Structure 1
Amino acid sequence: MDRMTAEPPPKPSPSDAPAPSASFRTVLAGRHFRRFFFSRAVSLAGDAVVPTALALTLTERGATAGWLGAMLAAALLPKVAFLAFGGIAADRFAKLPLMAASSLVCGAAQLATALVLTTGGGLLWWALGCQTAYGVASAVGYPATFGYLPHCVDPPRLGAANALLSAWTGAAALLGPAATAVLAALGDPALALALDGASFLLAACLLAGLPRGGPAGHVGGGIDALREGWRALRLLPWLLRMTVVDSLILLLVTAPFIVLGPGLVQHVAPGGWALLMLLFAAGELLGSLASGRVPLRRPILAAVLGLPMLGLPPLLLAMGAGLWPLCLAQVLAGASIGAYGVLVNTAVQRETPPAQLARVGAISSVGSFAFLPLGYVLAPLLAGLVGPEPLLWGAAAWTAVSVLVLLADADLRSFRYGTEGGGTPGGGQVTGGDR
């Protein structure tokens, strides 16, 4: 604790002040961000229908659960494999054409998947190939999208902009299953996949006329570019530690809960799992909006302090709690994830030099999600050996350990905007007349 003196306390420096915030209306008033937001909103709404649409479509056609797992893995694994190279491309070339090309390929892949599944017969392998193409295109598009935001939003508005995007992600997760159910009742759940494909094509059209988001400097290719991105990531030591911890949380907490939860909740309340997923999405929406409006002196510390909520759902499920405590826990867990994503993404975008932003985001995402497919496979295998409850107890315990590990990082606890040695406060430059 600082010693008390007779002198008045000094005025806080800009880096000590809470991060400035902007109203959502102000952010949406910017023409460039408004177009970018609507493009993302359309594609996110389409993507929200995919898991439910694939499950219903394959079930109706008598496909095994293995096919559903294969379809989901076919879309996920290419993202993990190619995301870092997508980051190189996004830092090396203009981001807008990459985003548009990614949307067009994703749209074509989803339309082809819908056509194949509607046709039926022995064409599931073709649908698997379409989902693989979708995953590769997504790996190219995501880093460009992450790195593009500072090109259409002033640095002080990045928090509110990230909050709007994250909040819409939660809202889309609420609407997606409902929209799929309506389309299934009207005809064929594969229509939802066609809707996703059309949403990507519309998203690409909405990008027309926006700033190209050109590279901020010369970026090499291949391994040297990855090494440069890795060095930039290491200049944010708190992000490096968070990436490692995130990957283990997804492996040891998220995967067991997602895989084992439906069967256990079914014994508590039939149909309760769908309700829990909806409440998580609602919490994510609320947490995203709140974190984008509240100025925080230490945003990364605030993000970490919300993470213990992630351990509540597996803990309550292991204890055999009823549905309503689980519902509350899911809202709190969703809110913590919504706030976490907004606060961390905003900090990375503000503190990373523009020429390296897409690679830093891509490498961090690869590190975070690399073990999630493994978790999906290991959780049921281990549950068959020891039962699901020990895994859920372990998930809750690991959440607590993860938070303690992060709080032990002095760089994380002391982080304020503009204080990182390798960062550039307000790292992105706004292009065009959208100031």
Structure 2
Amino acid sequence: MDRLAAARPSFRAVWGERFFRRFLISRVISLTGDAIVPTALALSLNQQKHPAGWLGGMLAAALLPKVLFLSFGGVAADRLAKLPLMAVSSVVCGVAQLATAMLLTTSAGLWWALGCQVVFGVSTAVCYPATFGYLPHCVSPDHLPIANALLGAWSGAASLIGPALTAVLAALGSPSLALAADGASFLLGAVLLVGLPRGGPVGRGSRGLSGLREGWTELRRLPWLMRITVVDSLILMLVTAPFIVLGPALVERTSHDGWALLMLLFAAGELLGSLVAGRVPLRRPIFGASLGLLAMGLPPLLLAGGAGLGPLCAAQVFAGAGIGAYGVLVNTAVQQSTLPEHLSKIAAFSAVGSFAFLPLGYVLAPLLAMFVGSRPLLWVAAAWTVVSVGALVSGRPLRELRAAGPPHPTSTGRTAAGSARGN
């Protein structure tokens, strides 16, 4: 443990890497803009007195294309240079959001705005795997854990800043101004990418269906990641979805603004957990990350038991910290255990698998609550968290996966994945 701690670089050392610093600033700007969108869309549509169904339609129009095309985006990101893909995707996203902001000012533009969100969703399906696979190209191998921690921490920080920034922009002009700010953030993020390493493909990757088959094959070669993907998908459907859908009404009985506070505290915990995970050395990082998921069961458990706002606030901080650490540790392990020419594909396949059942959970939770009640479903959610963590740590490859040095982006030989799969 002492040797690992001594070898762990500082946040200052990682920030000192020029290419990573610019990449991080670009991501910070884009993530902050993304955090604006849900609140800005809701306020814009509500201001225009549009039915609530339009908000669901706008959010679905951005999410569904992303899920459908994410795997193809992973294939493209491994076959082509990643920097141009990220830059073009950011420009397309920026234009789509600026157009959405303009169109939402008129009722006649709603369907066109919906189309812009579809374009936005397709573009993000290319951006995410390219961004994930690009990180090892702009930071030295031993700095990967802290680089992931900084990116994960800002995801939590953006969740805190986004809604507040939306409220300020809405007060200064209109909610559509916040959407325009999101569009501008993508364009500025694209400008900051100019001059960074291209992140070119290491080998000649497969295209089309062959690339998809190759990505699936590579994912299956990491049994611990396959297990994580399956467990994540069921946690999102059976734990996260019921809590998000049923929680607001239950919390509002004790505190009118309590739900907003709980969401902010979750984001604060996510920020804290991400930063800690980047600095605390673990010999078995995925095993530790899996145990941290137990905190996800605390909020539904307390809510089902009728706990007050105070215990729920503490539980949300712990849950956010568990998720923040989990994301950093898993992302680092994937980057350390995968050949660069397959990294984006594997990230895309894992993301699609993880989120595949979340929309179903959003639909099923209120329907089941009509028959059995909200609290029994939350009891089940809490119990399922324990079952899920047990399923994760029961896998020997996952339990025995140890911290390892990452493969260099230009290496095509044997990597840390070899030793991981040998356990």
Q: Which runs of 4+ in 1 moved over 4 A?
A: 17-20
Q: Which residue matches 2:172?
A: 186
Q: How far apart, CA to CA, are the structure 2 residues paired with 1:234 and 1:18? A: 32
Give 1:109's match in structure 2, choosing from 76, 96, 100: 96
Deviation at 1:370, TM superposition (A): 0.9
Is the aligned partner of 1:90 residue 2:70?
no
Q: How far apart, CA to CA, are the structure 1 residues paired with 2:54 and 2:132? A: 31
Question: Pairwise CA RMSD of aligned residues?
Answer: 1.5
Q: Which residue matches 2:122?
A: 136
AA at the equivalent of 1:86: G
Give 2:337's match in structure 1, choosing from 331, 335, 351: 351
Is the aligned partner of 1:24 residue 2:4?
no
SS in structure 2 opposite 1:324?
helix
Deviation at 1:258, TM superposition (A): 0.8
Structure 2 unaligned regions, length at least 5: 412-423
Deviation at 1:192, TM superposition (A): 0.7
Q: How far apart, CA to CA, are the structure 1 residues paired with 2:193 and 2:256? A: 43
Deviation at 1:229, TM superposition (A): 1.4
Deviation at 1:18, TM superposition (A): 6.9
Q: Determine if contact 2:73/2:125 at 8 Å carries over to the other structure.
A: yes
Q: Which residue matches 1:260?
A: 246
Deviation at 1:311, TM superposition (A): 0.5
Q: How far apart, CA to CA, are the structure 2 residues paired with 1:374 and 1:18? A: 42
Q: How many residues align?
A: 410
Listed as ranges, the matches of 1:302-341 within 5 Å are 302-341=288-327
Q: CA separation of 1:82/1:375 partners in 2, compared to 1, >3 Å: closer, same or farther?
A: same
Q: CA separation of 1:83/1:19 partners in 2, compared to 1, >3 Å: closer, same or farther?
A: farther
Listed as ranges, the matches of 1:389-428 within 5 Å are 389-418=375-404, 425-428=405-408
Q: How far apart, CA to CA, are the structure 1 residues paired with 2:354 and 2:164? A: 29
Deviation at 1:178, TM superposition (A): 0.6
Q: How far apart, CA to CA, are the structure 1 residues paired with 2:190 and 2:354? A: 28
Q: Determine if contact 2:35/2:159 at 8 Å carries over to the other structure.
A: yes
Deviates more, 1:373-382 or 1:157-166: 373-382
Q: How far apart, CA to CA, are the structure 2 residues paired with 1:224 and 1:117? A: 41
AA at the equivalent of 1:290: V
Give 1:49's match in structure 2, choosing from 33, 36, 41: 36
Is the aligned partner of 1:172 residue 2:152?
no
Q: Which residue matches 2:348?
A: 362
Larger helix proportion, structure 1 or 2?
A: 2
Q: Which residue matches 1:292?
A: 278
Q: Which residue matches 1:78?
A: 65
Q: Which residue matches 2:409?
A: 429
Deviation at 1:365, TM superposition (A): 0.3
State the TM-score, normalized to the length of structure 1: 0.92
Query: What are the superposed Cα offsets for residues 267-316 of structure 1, whole Å, 9 maximum, x if unpaired?
Result: 11001111000000000000000000111111001100101100111111
SS in structure 2 opposite 1:306?
helix
Q: Determine if contact 2:206/2:214 at 8 Å carries over to the other structure.
A: no
AA at the equivalent of 1:276: L
Q: How far apart, CA to CA, are the structure 2 residues paired with 1:384 and 1:99? A: 44
Structure 1 unaligned regions, length at least 5: 1-11, 419-424
Deviation at 1:368, TM superposition (A): 0.3
Q: Which residue matches 2:226?
A: 240
Deviates more, 1:312-321 or 1:203-212: 312-321
Q: Which residue matches 1:9?
A: none
Q: How far apart, CA to CA, are the structure 2 residues paired with 1:402 and 1:211? A: 40
Q: Which residue matches 2:418?
A: none
Q: Which residue matches 2:195?
A: 209
Q: How far apart, CA to CA, are the structure 2 residues paired with 1:244 and 1:376? A: 18
SS in structure 2 opposite 1:27?
helix
Q: How far apart, CA to CA, are the structure 1 residues paired with 2:211 and 2:169? A: 45
Q: CA separation of 1:20/1:416 partners in 2, compared to 1, >3 Å: closer, same or farther?
A: farther
Q: How far apart, CA to CA, are the structure 1 residues paired with 2:303 and 2:228? A: 26
Q: How far apart, CA to CA, are the structure 2 residues paired with 1:110 and 1:383? A: 36
Is the aligned partner of 1:250 residue 2:236?
yes
Deviation at 1:412, TM superposition (A): 0.7
Give 1:37's match in structure 2, choosing from 7, 16, 24: 24
Is the aligned partner of 1:228 residue 2:208?
no
Deviation at 1:427, TM superposition (A): 2.1
SS in structure 2 opposite 1:48?
helix
Q: CA separation of 1:409/1:50 partners in 2, compared to 1, >3 Å: closer, same or farther?
A: same
Give 1:279's match in structure 2, choosing from 258, 265, 288: 265
Give 1:383's match in structure 2, choosing from 366, 369, 377: 369
Q: How far apart, CA to CA, are the structure 2 residues paired with 1:375 and 1:61? A: 30
Q: Determine if contact 2:202/2:409 at 8 Å carries over to the other structure.
A: no
Q: How far apart, CA to CA, are the structure 2 residues paired with 1:20 and 1:284? A: 25
Deviation at 1:382, TM superposition (A): 1.4
Give 2:45's match in structure 1, choosing from 50, 58, 81: 58
Q: How far apart, CA to CA, are the structure 1 residues paired with 2:295 and 2:354? A: 19
Deviation at 1:113, TM superposition (A): 0.6
AA at the equivalent of 1:427: P
The percentage of counterpart residues that share the same residue type is 68
AA at the equivalent of 1:248: L
State the TM-score, normalized to the length of structure 2: 0.95
SS in structure 2 opposite 1:151?
helix
Query: What are the superposed Cα offsets for residues 229-271 of structure 1, whole Å, 9 maximum, x if unpaired?
Result: 1221122111000000000000011111111111111111001
AA at the equivalent of 1:100: A
Deviation at 1:19, TM superposition (A): 9.7
Query: What are the superposed Cα offsets for residues 146-187 of structure 1, whole Å, 9 maximum, x if unpaired?
Result: 000000111211000000001011011001111111112222
SS in structure 1 opposite 2:104?
helix
Q: Which residue matches 2:86?
A: 99
Q: How far apart, CA to CA, are the structure 1 residues paired with 2:302 and 2:112? A: 42
AA at the equivalent of 1:85: F
